[in-house]
Amino acid sequence: MTHRIGVVGASGYGGAELVRLASGLPTLDVAIVAAHSRAGEPVASVFPNLAGTRVFDEIDVDALGELDVVVLATPHGPALDLAPKLVEGGTPVVDLSAAFRLSADGFAQWYGEEHPHPQLTPATYGLPELHRRTIPDATLVANPGCYPTATLLALHPLLALVEPGSIVVNAASGTSGAGRTPTDTLHFAHVHGSASAYGAPTHRHTGEIEEHLGHGEQTSGPVQFTPHLLPTARGLLATCTADLRDGVGHDDVQSALHDAYDHEAFVQVLPSGTWPTTKAVHGSNGCQLSAVVDERTRRVVVSSAIDNLGKGAAGQALQNVNLLLGLPETTGLTAVGTYP
Amino acid sequence: MTHRIGVVGASGYGGAELVRLASGLPTLDVAIVAAHSRAGEPVASVFPNLAGTRVFDEIDVDALGELDVVVLATPHGPALDLAPKLVEGGTPVVDLSAAFRLSADGFAQWYGEEHPHPQLTPATYGLPELHRRTIPDATLVANPGCYPTATLLALHPLLALVEPGSIVVNAASGTSGAGRTPTDTLHFAHVHGSASAYGAPTHRHTGEIEEHLGHGEQTSGPVQFTPHLLPTARGLLATCTADLRDGVGHDDVQSALHDAYDHEAFVQVLPSGTWPTTKAVHGSNGCQLSAVVDERTRRVVVSSAIDNLGKGAAGQALQNVNLLLGLPETTGLTAVGTYP
Amino acid sequence: MTHRIGVVGASGYGGAELVRLASGLPTLDVAIVAAHSRAGEPVASVFPNLAGTRVFDEIDVDALGELDVVVLATPHGPALDLAPKLVEGGTPVVDLSAAFRLSADGFAQWYGEEHPHPQLTPATYGLPELHRRTIPDATLVANPGCYPTATLLALHPLLALVEPGSIVVNAASGTSGAGRTPTDTLHFAHVHGSASAYGAPTHRHTGEIEEHLGHGEQTSGPVQFTPHLLPTARGLLATCTADLRDGVGHDDVQSALHDAYDHEAFVQVLPSGTWPTTKAVHGSNGCQLSAVVDERTRRVVVSSAIDNLGKGAAGQALQNVNLLLGLPETTGLTAVGTYP
Amino acid sequence: MTHRIGVVGASGYGGAELVRLASGLPTLDVAIVAAHSRAGEPVASVFPNLAGTRVFDEIDVDALGELDVVVLATPHGPALDLAPKLVEGGTPVVDLSAAFRLSADGFAQWYGEEHPHPQLTPATYGLPELHRRTIPDATLVANPGCYPTATLLALHPLLALVEPGSIVVNAASGTSGAGRTPTDTLHFAHVHGSASAYGAPTHRHTGEIEEHLGHGEQTSGPVQFTPHLLPTARGLLATCTADLRDGVGHDDVQSALHDAYDHEAFVQVLPSGTWPTTKAVHGSNGCQLSAVVDERTRRVVVSSAIDNLGKGAAGQALQNVNLLLGLPETTGLTAVGTYP
């Protein structure tokens, strides 16, 4: 049986990556690839890898409403408008934007505007390794941000082992995370061979990390999050440190990670001392993690690598689509990273 | 039904790419991943994308002989030794090395040594777009070199339209084409941000291009081939020029390319003026081609882009394996390039 | 004694590179750094390497007219307007644009518009290694294009040795050659790790190569020129081939190159078989050349590497400024390439 | 007057960069370029930017002893042997290795061996912005490590404002910092487009940071230092965070940095919110810094960019040589970064 899905915002990197992943899958028919500004233009004119004669579709809510799932890969503005209409009509939505990831209060704080649909937010947070049970029945799934995905996978299992308020995350992403719109700071000659921090200390993913890292009685406390731009197209690395609670040691940390992920298809815990590389997961839905305990400073350092367009966006979205459709979660996601 | 294959030389980039492509395929079981120098070591210690606990196997000809197909991804020295043994024992072989690509005379000329098995060479040349009919019944398939693949796909359909002896090919490859052994000239800091020619005018792929470009009464004449190193890991671009015969024009060139490839799954002819990019086929088995006719110089310029590890090596090898096993030729090869 | 110069179009890469080279030189005072669209903005806001509080100046012809030399680093449109005004007023001009490089006929053919000042074009062609004697007395120097610089340095000494009409040039440039304006095709994520041809067969530098390669009774004939984009910021490599005339061999080629360049400060002839790398001249005014003769095809292959912003633009412009001012030609240009 | 200096270990990136910087300087004659393993080989065979016929010299202590200053760019092993001999003979030494940077106790702790010359270590620490007064009279100058240079410049002025023990430094370096010896992890195809952490939590630069960050009554406490490999050849970025002491705010932080560096030639404090890029200082001796105060977390974040071969190695060494020779400190170091 083939399920019919739609991608809105398919002229962006996230949307196009989903189209790429779904290409040739017998289980999924991407019936609509909508892009407001590019409607009518050939998909191949924007994405040279997506050969063929297909053109971008208009955004037509009625047509989208007849599909089995709609994936929104637009900025959060259009998503705030489209998602409620589709959900009301009974069509499940996976939203790659930040529109429904935070509580209404968090949204107001980090995005500087009142949330227009406070009753819909936060939607079901689509990080299957943490929320697998609730996703299949959701009507609106908020696909996590790229930095929060890497950070939460690294720190969520360790939260009970570390001191609230002590978390420092330094992360670095390839430029595709910043989108397809040409700008001075994403111009090839500017970025090639260069690295820099940006956006700290008020990057909006900070709020998302804090809101979704806490669970049960554990809270993260304020997180110091500094993102950086890497001179590469894809790939995201998060290096997370936190003060260990008294008595916590190497074995506790390793056990917590292995307990959380040894049964997971997409998350791999590397031996302590073997560090994840972004290239190992390039083009895949994988996440590689590794942790060391520094007894001298009594801190843990966890490094986490994902493809920002894979597990950090479209791969995870497909994982959520699979869950919503009752398909095996790994359908279409078994590709291994294209190292080297 | 699952077919059992083996990869010898799996610690090199070509062999490992085949293991990557075959991962998770229900039709293929890569039963042996042999690597002489790394036997016993974890595959993941060399290829961080190939997670898991598997270790490289010893090269055991008897064990290999029980498989349905063996793919040799060694240098041509070991292949000259192994292929005859396997073929004699009735096991079909796809050889990624240059051991059996040339006539015995050509081998002596370009490789500087007498061919030890002149009766076996040239083996069936495994460029399915040109030799699809003969591959399924072959016992020994010589998988084409990366530069010849890009060049032959670009020029083979045009050979009757151009003057023999007028062909000039400038090609550039990512460094993975040069292998996994660390050297001064493949050191990251040396290559990053740099480009250079190398190996001209005696690069061995010149002889392979000349020998396999001619067909019927058409011969290529001597080809001027200059390879270059690109500051990227994967991707190969060949820019081919040749003098047009009298009366040949734009339409003849475009028709020849479209006639040859419009029905092909892996070769895409772009509109004249739209140029192939290596990134469009990164990680895939695709080839993108585009040609322009220069009426001022009466030459044709054809540009051809492949992934040197995909269509230029392991992807094409899997295509040949599929043909040998009677599987659909595209099995395991439908992945779209990982642009951007 | 300090000479006062001005740079117009200083918000582009070529102009800014000249400002960089002139920084701290006791002999030159860059009194005006004009940029129409950025006037009033801090230079450092566009060029993070040019620290300080200086702002871009308005383009004021009267003020420019009081300087010792003005360097135009604008597109050819503004240069067609500015250069005649400055020259008429007696101020020597070095023009980095293509406005005055070609004969009026050539300009009409390759730029598709009638030249508005046919009596001023072609101006003195500012390739000092070929025209050192005429530059000091010039009032208008046309600074060569990046591709023509690399190509002419490679082929000019060999022209008498090769067959007219047989020249094929494949060249590749870092993206800074395409300017500082953000576009889809210069977006970092699009270019990173990718290579492609572009602009063939009608790239305008073709006409410039043909017009300036011929000398005396020698003509180049039509040149087949195919430019490519390299995934790097700086660096330009030209690989040039041509049929050798009867009787010409290895020694003739090497002698011609050594005779031309052994006394030159900026051009280095490498031993045959040692290939130039763009990184060796990164940030410098150098050019590295190397040639091989292919007796099998009776062709010569010459490879030529420059920094497209150095010898291919601002470095060469400073060389011309030095000649115009009667300064030692190497003043401010002795920096060695920043390998690795 | 020309001073005669020698470089030992000139076949490494640090030594060769010093030769590059000194090329053409009228004040310095690099009389000896010694390299044990390459003695007799042309310098240009290893460093294509350093054209010419010069060959590497043998390491001859007597000959070195007749020079005005000797720069050691060897690993710390040979430096432990050579430096005492030269110093005893009265020849001032600038040592780029870690041989004499730490106290004997610190050396034993971080390098795992007893220091053979405890009376000579720590030598004068050659970070001129912190120790300008003592360097001119030194006989043995320990040139700081690349990571410590970036970190100390960022944090030294702020130490009195932050809580001891709260410092977390995440830094990333281009691969040239790891040297010129080809290895699996520095192979181009492995590193291209990839990023990873390494060496934490026991990277030896941790001890150097801790030992030299404290001053007066201020101590750094244990520093959490995690280095990363960047997919670029040159460039080092350090992102440093620390808890602010009570009452310390934005103005205190900015004042401390501006007070420390506004009069410095090589350190530039960018406005808060404008982040340093490694490319802005590529090929130069510059350091760019920028700090933000996060009132939410009560931490400061300081980012610091240098060229690891410039201010992080050879540039700083030349600064120290200038101080030892009584030359203006900026001699030979005024080159602006080669952006883009």
- Do C161 and C116 lie in one domain? The reply is no
- D184, burial (CB in 10 Å: exposed 0-12, middle 13-18, buried 19+): exposed
Q: Determine, for residues A194 and D231 on separate chains, whether the beta-carbon distance falls below 8 Å.
A: no
D334 belongs to a structural domain: no
B54 touches chain D (CB under 8 A): no
**What percent of chain D shows pLDDT beyond 70?**
100
Is the pTM higher than 0.90? The answer reads yes
Q: Pull the structure tokens for residue A211.
A: 């809101």
Residue C117 has pLDDT above 90, yes or no: yes
Indicate the pLDDT class of residue B24, thresholds 50, 70 and 90: confident
> Contacts of residue D37 in chain B, CB cutoff 8 Å?
none
Q: Tell me the one-letter amino acid at A185.
A: T
Q: Are A197 and D239 in contact (CB under 8 A)?
A: yes
Interface probe with B: pick from C170, C270, C284, most Cβ of B within 10 Å:
C170
pLDDT tens track for C233-259: 999 999 999 999 999 999 999 999 999
What is the domain-level CATH number for residue C172?
Answer: 3.30.360.10
| Tens-place pLDDT, residues C79-100 | 999 999 999 999 999 999 999 9
The arithmetic mean of pLDDT across residues A7-33, rounded, is: 96
- Rounded distance between C-alpha atoms, residue D42 and residue A39, angstroms: 60
Q: Please tell me whether residues A28 and A112 are part of one structural domain.
A: yes
Per the DSSP assignment, residues forming a β-bridge with A28 are A3
Is C338 among the domain residues? no
Percent of chain D with pLDDT over 90: 98
From chain C, the residues in CB contact with B235 under 8 A are 193-195
Number of domains in chain D: 2
| Model confidence pLDDT, tens digit, residues C191-226 | 999 999 999 999 999 999 999 999 888 999 999 999
Is residue C98 within 8 Å of residue C14, measured between CB atoms? no
Cβ separation A188–C13 shorter than 8 A? no
Chain B: closest CA distance from residue D319 (Å): 25
Which residues of chain C lie closer than 8 angstroms to B228, CB-CB? Answer: 172, 237, 239
Given a contact cutoff of 8 angstroms between Cβ atoms, the answer to whether C257 and C248 are in contact is no
Residue D292 confidence class, pLDDT cut points 50, 70, 90? very high
What is the domain extent for residue C19? 3-143+311-325
Provide the shortest C-alpha distance from residue D170 to chain A (in Å). Answer: 7
- C228 reaches B (C-beta below 8 A): yes
Under the banding of pLDDT at 50, 70 and 90, the label for residue A89 is very high
Which positions of A are catalytic? 146
Cα separation of the two ends of chain D? 36
Q: Is the same domain home to B157 and B295? A: yes
Q: Does the beta-carbon distance from C233 to A183 stay under 8 Å? A: no
Contact C143, C131 (CB under 8 A): no
Residue range C4-9: mean pLDDT, rounded: 98
Q: Which residues of D touch B193 (CB under 8 A)?
A: 233
The mean pLDDT value for C105-119 works out to 97
D249 touches chain A (CB under 8 A): no
Instruction: Give the burial class of D58: count Cβ atoms within 10 A of its Cβ; 0-12 exposed, 13-18 middle, 19 or more buried.
Output: exposed
- Min CA distance, A70 vs chain C (Å)? 26
Phi (first) and psi of residue B198, to 5 degrees = -165, 155
Contact A19, A43 (CB under 8 A): yes
Q: Residue D217 — very low, low, confident or very high, per pLDDT cuts 50/70/90?
A: confident
* Percent of chain B with pLDDT strictly greater than 70: 100
Burial readout C18-48 (b: 16 or more C-beta within 10 A, e: otherwise): bbbbbbebeebebbbbbbeebeeeebbebbb
D133 & D252 share domain: no
Inform me whether the pLDDT recorded for B278 exceeds 90.
yes
- Is C250 within the bounds of a domain? yes
SS3 A135: coil
Enzyme catalytic residues of C: 146
- pLDDT of the residue at B215: 87
Same structural domain, C179 and C131? no
User: Do B118 and B162 fall within a single domain?
Assistant: no
B169: pLDDT strictly greater than 90: yes
What is the sign of the dihedral through the CA atoms of C15, C18, C19 and C20? positive
Query: Does residue C320 contact residue C135 with C-beta atoms inside 8 Å?
Result: yes
The number of C-alpha atoms within 13 Å of C28 and in the hemisphere containing its C-beta is: 28
Domain contains A97: yes
- Per-residue pLDDT, averaged over D222-239, amounts to 98
Dihedral, CA of residue D256, residue D261, residue D262 and residue D267, to nearest 10: -140
Instruction: Give the pLDDT of residue D208.
Output: 98
Query: Looking at residues B73-100, what average pLDDT do you find?
Result: 98
Considering only CA atoms, give the Rg of chain B.
19
Residues A297 and A315 in one domain: no
Predicted local confidence at residue D18, as pLDDT = 98
Query: What is the pLDDT averaged over residues A82-102?
Result: 98
Q: Are residues C97 and C39 in the same domain?
A: yes
Could you tell me if D180 lies within 8 Å of chain B, comparing CB atoms? yes
Give the pLDDT confidence score for residue A191 in this predicted structure.
Answer: 98
3-class state of residue D218 by DSSP: strand
Within a domain: residue B333? no
Cα distance between residue A148 and residue A207, in whole Å: 9
Q: Inter-chain contact D340–A168, Cβ cutoff 8 Å?
A: no
Comparing CB atoms, the residue among C180, C184, C233 nearest residue A193 is: C233
**Could you tell me if C268 and C183 lie in one domain?**
yes
Optimal mutation site among D13, D28, D49, interface C, most CBs of chain C within 10 A? D49
The residue to which tokens 């004040």 are assigned: D27
Please state, rounded to an integer, the average pLDDT across all residues of chain B: 97
| Average pLDDT of chain D to the nearest whole number | 97
Give residue-wise pLDDT tens across range D3-24.
999 999 999 999 999 999 999 8
In whole angstroms, give the CA distance from residue B289 to residue B269.
5
Q: How far apart are CA C102 and CA B91, in angstroms?
A: 65
Comparing C-alpha atoms, which of A188, A150, A153, A190 is closest to residue A170?
A: A150
For residue range B229-273, what is the model confidence (pLDDT) as tens digits? 999 999 999 999 999 999 999 999 999 999 999 999 999 999 999
Assigned domain for B335 exists: no
B298: left (phi over 0), alpha (psi -120 to 50) or beta: left
Q: Which of A304-313, C19-28, C274-283, D276-285 has the lowest mean pLDDT?
A: C19-28
Residue C211 has what pLDDT? 97
Same domain, D128 and D186: no
C271 and C252 both lie in a single domain? yes
Q: Choosing among B47, B173, B186, B187, which should be mutated to test the D contact, i.e. which has the most D CBs within 10 A?
A: B187
Residue D31: the pLDDT is 98
3-state SS, chain C, equals CCEEEEEECCCCHHHHHHHHHHCCCCCEEEEEEECHHHCCCEHHHHCCCCCCCCECECCCHHHHCCCCEEEECCCHHHHHHHHHHHHHCCCCEEECCCCCCCCHHHHHHHHCCCCCCHHHCCCEECCHHHHCCCHHHCCEEECCCHHHHHHHHHHHHHHHHECCCCCEEEEEECHHHHCCCCCHHHEHHHHCCCCEECCCCCCCHHHHHHHHHCECCECCCCCEEEEEECCCCCCEEEEEEEEECCCCCHHHHHHHHHHHHCCCCCEEECCCCCCCEHHHHCCCCCEEEEEEEECCCCEEEEEEEECCCHHHHHHHHHHHHHHHHCCCCCCCCCCCCCCC
Beta strands (DSSP E) in B113-181 are 124-125, 140-142, 168-173
Residue A24's pLDDT is: 85
Contact D339 C286 (CB under 8 A): no
**Do C190 and B282 meet the contact criterion of CB atoms below 8 Å apart?**
no
Residue D1 has pLDDT above 90, yes or no: no
Q: Which amino acid is at C249?
A: G
Q: How far apart are CA D43 and CA C295, in angstroms?
A: 32
Chain D contact for C235 (CB, 8 A cutoff):
no
**Which H or E run contains A257?**
helix A250-261
Q: How far apart are the first and last CA of chain A?
A: 36
Residue A216: is it exposed, middle or buried by C-beta count within 10 angstroms (0-12/13-18/19+)?
exposed
Res B329 pLDDT > 90? yes
- What is the structure's pLDDT at A138? 98
- CA separation, residue A111 to residues A220, C182, D275, D301 (Å): 20, 27, 22, 22
Interface contact B13-A340, CB threshold 8 A: yes
Residue type at position D220: S
Q: State the pLDDT at residue B97.
A: 98
Split at pLDDT 50, 70, 90, the class of B1 is confident
For residue D79, the model assigns a pLDDT of 98
What pLDDT shows up at residue B323? 98
Q: Let me know: does C310 contact C17? Beta carbons within 8 Å.
A: yes
pLDDT confidence of residue A251: 98
Which sequence positions of B are flagged as catalytic? 146
Beta pairing class for A140-142 and A93-95? parallel
**Confidence grade of residue B72 (pLDDT, cut at 50, 70, 90):** very high
pLDDT reading at B115 higher than 90: yes
Close Cβ partners of B59 (under 8 Å, ≥ 6 residues apart): B8, B34, B35, B36, B39, B78, B82
D174 reaches B (C-beta below 8 A): yes
In the predicted model, what is the mean pLDDT of residues A135-163? Answer: 98
The answer to whether the CB of A281 falls within 8 A of the CB of A307 is yes
In a domain, residue B289? The reply is yes
Cβ–Cβ of C286/D337 closer than 8 Å?
A: no
Task: Please name the member of C24, C288, C338 whose beta carbon is closest to the beta carbon of D338.
Answer: C338
Handedness of CA C99, C101, C104, C106 (dihedral sign): negative
Residues in chain B within 8 Å Cβ distance of D188: 175, 186-188, 190-192, 231, 233
Crossing angle, helix A315-325 and helix A13-22, to 10 degrees? 60
Distance (Å, whole) CA C33 – CA C19: 8
Q: Considering CB atoms only, which of B233, B239, B280 is closest to C197?
A: B239
Confidence band for D216, pLDDT divided at 50, 70 and 90: confident
D155-178: average pLDDT: 98
Residue D21 CB coordination number (10 Å): 26
Which tens digits make up the pLDDT trace of D20-69? 999 989 999 999 999 999 999 999 999 999 988 999 999 999 999 999 99
Look at A7-16, A211-220, B53-62, C240-249 and tell me which has the smallest mean pLDDT.
A211-220
Q: Is residue D339 part of a domain?
A: no
Per cent of chain A over pLDDT 90 is 98
In this structure, the strands spanning C93-95 and C140-142 are parallel
For chain C, report the end-to-end CA distance as a whole number of angstroms: 36
Question: What CATH number does residue A73 fall under?
Answer: 3.40.50.720
Could you say which of C13, C182, C193 has the minimum Cβ distance to residue A186?
Answer: C182
As a whole number, mean pLDDT of residues A117-125 equals: 98
What is d(CA C262, CA C278) in angstroms, rounded to the nearest whole number?
20
DSSP classification of residue B178: G
Domain identity same for B89 and B27: yes
Q: pLDDT for D232-254, tens place per residue? A: 999 999 999 999 999 999 999 99
How many other C-beta atoms lie within 10 A of the C-beta of residue A328? Answer: 12
Q: CB-based contact (8 Å) between C193 and chain A?
A: yes
